[in-house]
Chain A
Amino acid sequence: MFLLALKMLLGDRAKYWMLVGGLAFSSLLMTQQYSVFQGLMSWTTSHMRNMRASIWVVESRVEQVNESKAMRDTDLNRVRSVEGVDFAVPLFQGVLKARTADGSDKMIQMIGLHSGTLYGRPPRMIEGDIAQLRLPNSVVIDTLAMESTRLGSGMGRPLKVGDVFEINDREARVVGICQTERHFFGYPYVFSSYDQALQYSPRQRKMLSMILAEPKPGWDTAEVAQRIMKETGLRAFTVPQLEASTIRWVWNNTGIPISFLTTIILGFVVGVAVCGQTFYSFVLENLRNLGALKAMGASNGLLAGMLLFQAMIVGLIGFGMGIGLTAFFGLTVAQSGQPPFKADAAFVFQSLAAVLVICALAALFGIRRVAKLEPAIVFRG
């Protein structure tokens, strides 16, 4: 009977495509928007993956990784003296102006690394040697900075190792090129030593942006972070804590999640509306046939099962098409990384569940109608 149920629906080409199309559109909207949202959210924490520190110590009011408030230089020693801390190093981070070939300014994300350890260095060097950051006036740039030809000296080509440009009127010589994940603000990364970074940056009373720390072997990271907070009054995060705090901050302080959520809910509602409507009219048009089946002894349960089955099958097909389109979109934008796109298996199952809920709701209207149907109607002209 279920096979016949499927044929009944497939026989109605117009309705079938309307249902599949509606569901494909709805799944596309939900999955694509969700993936872009996930991508955006991953941008908000990309900074942590570019730096890879175990414990992040910041000024007590800082809530997220893309923000820093300067601390006193003495804070570094206070952190170092906390029990369980293996080592702690200073970090400078700030958005500075680099001079482009045509004389205008370009914003860059300046990172000053502790020159002794280079702790917080980017995960992958493409060219050059990060150790050369210890030489005066040297920087390592990421590929985004490299490709930004405006930074070069008017050569109209990407920057290379050995090229020179200016940051705040000071010479910066490229000694290496690294791979980074795009920063939330979208500025290219420029790494230098901590002391060098202070020279590039306009002079201020307090210059220490963050302290990166590592727990002693055998110590629990979260516990050490807790100790740092208790003993210094500064704020210390482990990686998962800072990630969570950063995402919470985005939820509380930007309209991004709400606007994406709205679109996703809209996709769901459109799905329910289009499918519910189409499926219901399919049921109405087949009322005589369903009545005949009922007269011939099909129980309400069987008919409900058949309608549900029909709805679920179009749901799966529509979802398949929608997720296919989303994947296509993802592959298309993967090259440029704009807009950000991030999908995972759990999310595929969640959106599949959402689509099946849409289908179940659509079928439910029809099932209610059929349950109330008097089989005797088939005798009426």
Chain B
Amino acid sequence: MTTPLRSVNPALPTAAPVVFNSSGSLAVGARGIVKVFGVGDARTQALKGADFEASEGELHLIVGPSGCGKTTLLSVLAGTLSSDQGEVNLFGTRLTGLSASEVTRFRCRHIGFIFQQFNLIPTLSLVENVSVPLLLNGAGRRDAEAKAAERLRQVGLAGRERQLPTQLSGGQQQRVAIARALVHEPRLVICDEPTSALDSMTGHQIMELLSTAAKAPGRCVLIVTHDPRIYGYADRISVMEDGRVTHVHAGASLSSYIHSENRS
């Protein structure tokens, strides 16, 4: 079933419809995702047949009111949550056709994660935290730590490798998280509200890092956000409402959407 798409303001250029094209640059494709939580009175249908797509080299924002299903959709796309119906394709791999352990291996190899609460392990040093994805992919400790130190340098934390996360500010911790998300060169980077715990200056620095990361060949960065201040970094924005993606803005439609959102 396809959802009829409406643009926010009929006077503005129409948003691009959600269509599945078979172009080689399709990074993420999802169709008809349904996810239900709980049973009986507690039953919530978080996703009601959501369609979604994102291309390689793209920084893609997912926005929408609280409770509309953004986090749930992101979890399904990242393979950390299984959907009840629908299909997810990541870089030509049908995620929904894989076994649980195959999905885990796929995540390990191809996906980097950035969380709202950073989720660095407090008792491990920065370089140890950043080396985790490499170790999970079977790298040796020395190798992993050398690469991790290099990543820390790239996010502006050179010389602090042996410090603990608690010695850092929120913005610095999020940079460590970015270094960790990128260290194993994943194709998909998944971020849930990466800037909402940060002040606006720090938020912009973080977004700079992420939009640079998105430009890497073959990579796609997906960001769920509530924060209109960062809309300007987006190559595309998917707007969700009540368990579905209702609009997708790119190009001219994107500029006017950002304009209208920032005014309100």
Contact = CB atoms under 8 A, between A and B. Distances in A.
Given A296-B108, A297-B136, A374-B80, A288 B123 contact: no
B145 to A, nearest CB: 11
A91 B123 CA distance: 72
Contact of B104 (A1, A12, A297, A381): A297
B78 A295 contact: yes
Interface in B74-125: 74-75, 78, 80-81, 101, 104-105, 107-109, 111, 113, 115-117, 119, 121-124
A376 B80 contact: yes
A297 B133 contact: yes
A378 B121 contact: no
Nearest to B119: A292
Contact of A379 (B74, B128, B132, B141): B74
Interface residues of B, number: 30
Contacts of A379: 71, 74-75, 80, 115-116, 192
Contact of B71 (A289, A296, A380): A380
Interface stretch (A2-10, A19-27, A240-248): A2-10
B239 interface: no
A380 B74 CA distance: 12
B198 interface: no
Contacts of B230: none
A374 B132 contact: no
Contacts of A295: 78, 80, 107, 113
Contact of B113 (A288, A296, A299, A380): A296
A292 B101 contact: no
A51 interface: no
Interface string A222-255: 0000000000000000000000000000000000
Interface size class on chain A is 20 to 34
A298 interface: yes
Contacts of B121: 4, 8, 289, 292
Contacts of B132: 1, 4, 293, 296
Contact of B123 (A12, A292, A374): A12
Interface in A355-381: 374-376, 378-381
Contacts of A374: 80-81
A293 B101 CA distance: 14
B101 A375 contact: no
Nearest to B109: A297
Interface string A285-308: 000110111111111001000000
B250 interface: no
Report which residue of B81, B104, B124, B141 has the largest number of chain A beta carbons within 10 angstroms of its beta carbon: B104
Nearest to A375: B80
Given A11-B124, A292-B113, A295-B113, A376 B75 contact: yes
Q: Main secondary structure on chain A at its contact with chain B? A: helix
A92 B168 CA distance: 84
Contact of A296 (B81, B107, B122): B107
B136 A1 contact: yes
A92 to B, nearest CB: 72
Contacts of B119: 288-289, 291-292, 378
A304 to B, nearest CB: 13
A49 B69 CA distance: 81
B174 to A, nearest CB: 14
B156 to A, nearest CB: 23
Contacts of A288: 117, 119
A294 B105 CA distance: 11
Contacts of A292: 113, 115, 119, 121
Contacts of B122: 11, 289
A10 B81 contact: no
B124 A8 contact: yes
Contacts of B8: none
A288 B116 CA distance: 12
B185 to A, nearest CB: 14
B149 to A, nearest CB: 16
Interface in B26-72: 71
Contacts of A302: 136
A206 B71 CA distance: 95
A186 to B, nearest CB: 55
Interface in A267-321: 288-289, 291-299, 302
11 contacts: A4-B121, A12-B123, A293-B132, A296-B108, A296-B136, A297-B105, A298-B104, A302-B136, A375-B80, A376-B75, A381-B116
Interface of A: 1, 3-4, 7-8, 10-12, 288-289, 291-299, 302, 374-376, 378-381
Closest 5 CB pairs of A and B: A11-B123, A297-B108, A376-B75, A376-B81, A292-B119
Given A297-B105, A297-B109, A378-B113, 5 more contacts: A1-B135, A292-B115, A295-B113, A297-B104, A299-B101
